Structure 1
Amino acid sequence: MDTLTHSESIVIGCSAQTLYDMVADVTRIGEWSPVCRTCWWDEGGGPRVGAWFTGRNELPERTWETRSQVVVADPGREFAFVVGGTYVRWGYTFTPREEGTELTESWEFLPGGIAMFEEKFGADAPAEIADRTRAAHEGIPVTLAALKRAAETTGAGGPR
């Protein structure tokens, strides 16, 4: 994987606001993420810029928790957070389309994350970064498909 950024899109048959409300409710991430099993708001936070939340991630070989900070909370347009405050940015944009909403999920490994991996893993940092990059590339389409199923099968409604 040469690039430390990746994004993919899917059209979902419901409104941008409905999708935003689903994604910005980080307590639901475990419903569609292939790695993150649960999230909770820290200190009574919520989907607003500056709020922090904790997520528990699980793979067969390990379980770990991360704290993330909301960096964009623009209802119906964009929701984004940065893991560790400087490590990795995950973002979601919502673009109205005739048949619903185009949801784009994006991922970017930030310079702070590279530095943290170099400090933590030393000579193994490039392999660890490549592993996380591959996981993001593989996980985004899985997440988008699960979001589509959840939005379209729970009566979330059609385009508005």
Structure 2
Amino acid sequence: MGRTRSVADSVVIDRSPSELYGMIGDVTRMGEWSPENKGATRRREGAAEVGDEFIGSNTRGRVSWSTLCTVTRAEPGRVFAFRVHEIGGPKRRLPARIASWQYTFEDHDGGTLVTETWTDDRPWPDVVARVFDSAVTGGRTFADFQRGNIRRTLRKLKVVAEADVVR
């Protein structure tokens, strides 16, 4: 059986699609709700556009790394997506197909249904992925690991968005 290459989850948040898109599209804020990402730095100011790059800072346990990401979809109030295509430390990152992330925003009973999707872009054979995944996630597949991360991210996003005035 092949590995699961994509997982998603959703939550309804009492905010408009445009407000939530503004929060997610500001990748510098991602650390406010992600259990692993600690935020990002962008190379330019203003609303994210397709083709914009940013560097994500991540930590899992005692291990930290950075990623180079490129925005692949930027449709305000509808879809924000990016792909991760370099990984490494603060001084050097290795080019590699890693993952894609997508957030969709749909009107839902006066709030917004937010769906977060992770897709495994690694071109590795399944057996290599299983061994690597187990070593870096404490015995799980990345799909199972990311399913939990997505659930935690969406719960925290809901808390932050509903408790705060959206910037």
TM range (shorter): 0.7 to 0.9
Unpaired runs of 5+ residues, structure 1, are: none
Distance 1:155 1:58 in 2: 27
Distance 2:161 2:27 in 1: 15
Paired letter, 2:159: R
* Alpha-carbon RMSD: 2.1
Unpaired runs of 5+ residues, structure 2, are: 87-96, 134-139
Matched-pair contact (CA < 8 Å) for 1:95–1:101: yes
From 123, 140, 156, give the equivalent of 1:114: 123
Q: 1:124: Cα distance to partner?
A: 4.7
- 1:114-160, Cα deviation, whole Å (9 max, x unpaired): 34xx6xxxx7532224543232111001000111011100034xxxx
Matched-pair contact (CA < 8 Å) for 1:8–1:140: yes
> Percent of aligned positions with the same letter in both sequences?
34
TM (normalized to structure 2)?
0.81
Paired letter, 1:133: A
1:125 alignment counterpart: 129
Figure out how many residues of one structure are paired with residues of the other and give that number: 148
Question: Counterparts in 2 of 1:128-147, with a 5 A limit?
Answer: 128-129=132-133, 131-147=141-157
Distance 2:155 2:65 in 1: 24
Distance 2:39 2:15 in 1: 24
Matched-pair contact (CA < 8 Å) for 1:89–1:109: yes
TM (normalized to structure 1)?
0.84
Question: Counterparts in 2 of 1:7-156, with a 5 A limit?
Answer: 7-41=8-42, 43-44=43-44, 46-84=47-85, 86-110=97-121, 113-115=122-124, 124-129=128-133, 131-156=141-166
- The structure richer in helix per residue is 1
